[in-house]
Each structure stands twice: as structure tokens, then as C-alpha cells.
Structure 1
Amino acid sequence: MFKKLLASIGIGSAKVDTLLHTEHLYPGQEFSGEILVIGGDVAQEISGLDLALMTKVKVEGENGDHFTNHMLQNWHISDKFTIAPKEQRRIPFKATLHPETPLTQLDTRVNQSQVWLATGLNIDMAIDASDKDPLYIYPNEVATAFMQAMNNAGYQLFKADVEKGYLNTREFRSASGCYQELEYRPLRTSLFGVKEVELSFVPAHNVTHVLIELDRAFKGDGFRSLSINHDAASIANIAQRLQPLLS
């Protein structure tokens, strides 16, 4: 009875560990792994097993900005089962990352972008036993080419973060409830030139949409958008399409 009581408050209870085949991924990529459940000191009934794709978002408020966790998507991996004392159970899974998963692998001075998988065991009357695994998210071909074009145009990536909300244009709308902003600054400033450029990528099927926010001296902010198809010719033409917007 004493062991059952301790397990009910999270002491000596079941534990979970997510083992991914790779943590290095691209937005929209399929990934796989297995969840290892290790029984505690007594048999326990697990109400369910869930996996969530998480990121940290900036929320603007009256008292200033603050960061909070945001769930991009989740998967129900397993229904109710009982785990015996010290039993080890491996549950394989496959899933696909949300196409709007923020990028984490960026060459920038300030990178506030984080992405991780959270695994939870729903143990009745227990503290949530959870496991958090960081993911390393790389830009797709369009984003890589776009960022290279910004570098070639004389801009440097200064900061990256993820903000709560949606992007809405006449051409596209984001769907994840958050969006990433990549803040670029020119290496050389001019009195009437561009002071800052913020890029947001919204990948979709066979196309990546890009929202571009331009902050010009004495003119304020202006918005432009481009949609780049995922083919070699369109990717090769990114610099040519971007240059007039920066002039």
C-alpha cells in the first residue's frame, strides 16, 4: 500500500524516454523513433501516451513581452495499458513535422528559437511523467537560398525568434498559431535606405511563401510577399526577385 501511495504522487512511478532515429530534421519531414516506458515499483495503469511538438513563442502584452510554450501539433501514440513493475515496453512510432516548424539551426547572434518533442504518460492520479527532446531544425532549399541571397545583398542575420499569432496576406495564411521572424540588418547603413528586414517563411506543399517586412528610414514599415516554387529554376531566381524589394 505504501509503494502504491508513493507511486500515486510520482515517487517510484513509471518513466518514459523518447528515442529518435535522428534529431536533425527539416520542416515537414517524416521522422520516427520509439518510446521506452519503464515501470516503477508497482504496477500502474497508463491512461494514454502522447507526443507533442513544442516551441517557445513571444507574446506581446501591456506589461511588456514574455515567452510561453506553444504546441504546434500532437500525436496520440497509445491508448490505455498497464505497465508492470520494472517492465520495459518499447512503442515504435512515425510522424511528420508541421511544415511551419520554426528553424533552429541559424547563423545568427541572437537565436531565441527552440523546438522540442514532449512525451507524456497520463498516469491516473499521478504527476505527469514527461520527457523532453530538443530537435535541430534546418532550413529547406528555398529558405537556404533566400538567406544566402540576403547575405549576398549585404545583410546579416542578427536575431531569430518565434511570435504568437498568424500571418495573413492575400496570397497565403499561416496555420500553426505562431510564426518565426528572422531579423536582418544591413552591413552598411544609409540615411534613406533600409534599416531592417524581417523574413517569415511559411512552407506549404511544393511552395514556400515568404513575408518580407521592410523598415525604411523616414518611411516606416512596409510589407511584401513572395511565393517560391520548390523547383531549381524558381530557387535560382530568388536573388533576382528579391533585389528590387531591397532597392
Structure 2
Amino acid sequence: MLKKLLSKLGVGAAKVDLVLHHPHVRLGEKLEGEFFIEGGTVEQHIRKLEVELQLIVHADGKAYRRTAAVIPVSSSFTIQPGERKALPFSYVLPLHLPITRPHVRYAFVTRLDIADGVDAFDQDAIDILPPLSLEKLFHALENIGFREKPSSGKITPYGQEFAFFPTGAWMGMIEEVEFSALIEENGVRLYLEVDVRSGFGGFHETERKREIFLSNEEIDDVEETAGKLRTVIEEMIQQPHSYIGTSYVPFSSYPPQHVSHHHGGHGMMGAIGGFAAGMLAGMAAEELLEDVVEDALDHDMEDVMDDIGDWFDGGDDDIL
């Protein structure tokens, strides 16, 4: 009787542990592991075993969580005292999620739902790596003298935004390069913003925007991609009047595409565009970002753009 009472309070209850074969995975790839369940001091009925993939965003010294996916693993079963069970785990990572960066983290939270007792939990950190096409773009920028900033990868109402600072010959001319990426079937579309220094001493800064498309064949050749990016950025510096404005100017060597009004309009697809929404594989990403965008639109949009750390506005999911 005492053991049953204690088990209902969580003392001597069943435990669960998720062991991942690898703590990192690329978008779209399969992650595998095993659940190890150990019975407590008494027989217990397990209503279900499930895992939540949680997105954790750090902003303004706080951390905020959103559930990106709920993965059912097992329906009800009974575990005997001291019994040990092992269940396989595999999950194909959705293509629509932001990738891991210093301010963007993920965790699998495993829940063992125990009838008439305290549920058992386990948490495991997971790194979501960029798809190869995006990783090659990072390498191409590095090849022409740019390095990713520690603050890169922030979540904005337009998706995930990456930021690079110049080295070598670009220093003094460029403050930073930012972009969001839309992954398409035949390649990657970049919404590129270059902050160019001008005037005496380079104290004046102007934003120049351009939309470019890189085919899968081009991206496979990092040197070719690097060359194209160098040409594009040089043109944006040398032809300022062509690229200053609120819209993205399409890359001239390609047929006209849709123009993304990155800082204009409150349409839902315009608001959550960019990397995260561009890789949308279902409704999950849109629902994940929709509440955040609505929070942002309740505030002055100029303030939101100035401080995109407020991506998770409100405190319902504030964690310490």
C-alpha cells in the first residue's frame, strides 16, 4: 500500500530515457534512437508515450518555448516492477523549421503518461543543421570574405535571417550582409540586403536590396556560387540607385520573378516568408509562426523591425 501511494507521488515510479544515436540532424533527414523504460516499485499503467520537439528561442536575456511537433510513440501498456523495455525511435525532421543557431535551440521532451501517478519526463538537446544547399551558400560567402555574425539566425516575422560581417577588401565598404532564403525545387532564392557605407569616413549607411536565384547546379559548385555572389554584391555597391528602396530587385540575368516587399504589407505569407515558411511542408510551420506574427502586428511594426528579438512577444511560455 505504501509503495503504491509513493508511486502516485512519483517516488519509485517508472522512468523513461530517450537515447539518440546522433545529437544532430539535417533538415529533412531521419533521426534515430531508442527509448529505455524502467518499471518502478509497483505495477503501473502507462496511458501513452510521446515526444515533443520544442523550439527554444533566446531573446532579451530570456528563453521562450514553442512546440514544433508532437510525435506519438506508443499507446497504452502496463509495466511491471523492475521491468525494462526498449522501444525504437525514428523521426524524419520536417523541412520547414529554422536551423539551430546561438539564439535558436531545440530539445526533444519525452513524456511517459502514467495513470494515477506523476508523469515521467526526459529532455534531450538536438541540433538542427542546415540543408546542404544553405550550408554551401555559407561557404561561398566565406570564400569571398564574409564571416557569420554571432547574432545570425534570428527569427523575424519574415522567417530566419542570417547576417555576415565583412573581412579583407570589403571592410570599410560594407557594414554587413543579411539574407533570408527560400528553398525551391530547382534552387534557392535569396532575399539579400547589403548595408553599404558611404560618405566621408564611411559614417553614412544605406540599405540595398536584391532578389537573386541560384540553381541547384550552381550551388553544387561553391566556387561558381562565390563568383556570382561577388558580382552581385559589387553591382549593389557600384549601382546604388538600382537597389535602394523597400522592395527586392530581381537578379537581372533571370526572368522576372515575384518581388518580395520585405518591409511592406501585413499579408500572412509576406509576413512569415523567408527560410522557415519557404520550406513549409505542412501547416505546422505556419501555425508555429502565426501567433508570433499576430503578436508582432499588435505592436508598432517599426519597433518590431528595430528589435527583432521580440519575436516571442508575451510571457505565457517564458522559461527560466
TM-score (norm 2): 0.60
Q: Which moves more between the two structures, 90-99 or 50-59?
A: 50-59
Q: Which SS does the other structure have where 2:229 is aligned?
A: helix
Q: Which SS does the other structure have where 2:150 is aligned?
A: strand
Distance 2:10 2:152 in 1: 35
Q: Which residue of 1 aligns with 2:148?
A: 157
Instruction: Please state how far the C-alpha of 1:51 moved relative to its aligned partner.
Output: 1.4
Q: Which residue of 1 aligns with 2:311?
A: none
Instruction: Please state how far the C-alpha of 1:28 moved relative to its aligned partner.
Output: 0.9
Instruction: Please state how far the C-alpha of 1:113 moved relative to its aligned partner.
Output: 3.3
Q: Which residue of 2 aligns with 1:198?
A: 178
Judging by fraction of residues, say which structure has more strand. Answer: 1
Distance 2:73 2:66 in 1: 20
Count of residues paired in the alignment: 224
Partner residue of 1:181 out of 161, 168, 176:
161
Q: Which residue of 1 aligns with 2:111?
A: 120
Q: Which residue of 1 aligns with 2:77?
A: 81
Instruction: Please state how far the C-alpha of 1:159 moved relative to its aligned partner.
Output: 1.5
Distance 2:117 2:42 in 1: 13
- 2:153/2:163 contact within 8 Å kept: no
Q: Using a 3 Å threshold, how does the CA distance of structure 1 residues 222 and 233 change in structure 2: closer, same or farther?
A: closer
Q: Which residue of 2 aligns with 1:4?
A: 4
Q: Which residue of 2 aligns with 1:99?
A: 95
Judging by fraction of residues, say which structure has more helix. Answer: 2
Q: Within 5 A, what are the aligned runs for 1:8-87?
A: 8-58=8-58, 66-87=62-83
Name the larger-Rg structure: 2
Instruction: Please state how far the C-alpha of 1:116 moved relative to its aligned partner.
Output: 2.4
Distance 2:73 2:84 in 1: 16
- 1:160/1:180 contact within 8 Å kept: no
The reply to whether residue 145 of structure 1 matches residue 136 of structure 2 is: yes
Q: Deviations over 1:133-181 (max 9, x none)?
A: 22233333212221112112221112246555653xxxxxxxxxxx443
Q: Percent identity?
A: 27
Q: Deviations over 1:2-57 (max 9, x none)?
A: 22222222222111111223223211101222211111111112121111222212
TM-score (norm 1): 0.75
Q: Using a 3 Å threshold, how does the CA distance of structure 1 residues 241 and 124 change in structure 2: closer, same or farther?
A: farther
Q: Using a 3 Å threshold, how does the CA distance of structure 1 residues 143 and 234 change in structure 2: closer, same or farther?
A: closer
Instruction: Please state how far the C-alpha of 1:243 moved relative to its aligned partner.
Output: 2.7
Distance 2:44 2:190 in 1: 49
Gapped regions of structure 1 (runs ≥ 5): 168-178
Q: Using a 3 Å threshold, how does the CA distance of structure 1 residues 93 and 158 change in structure 2: closer, same or farther?
A: same
Instruction: Please state how far the C-alpha of 1:186 moved relative to its aligned partner.
Output: 1.3
Q: Which SS does the other structure have where 1:72 is aligned?
A: strand
Q: Which residue of 2 aligns with 1:173?
A: none
Q: Using a 3 Å threshold, how does the CA distance of structure 1 residues 72 and 226 change in structure 2: closer, same or farther?
A: farther
Gapped regions of structure 2 (runs ≥ 5): 198-203, 235-320
Q: Deviations over 1:107-131 (max 9, x none)?
A: xxxx333222221112234443211
Q: Which SS does the other structure have where 1:25 is aligned?
A: strand
Q: Deviations over 1:78-131 (max 9, x none)?
A: 112221111111122321012244444x7xxxx333222221112234443211
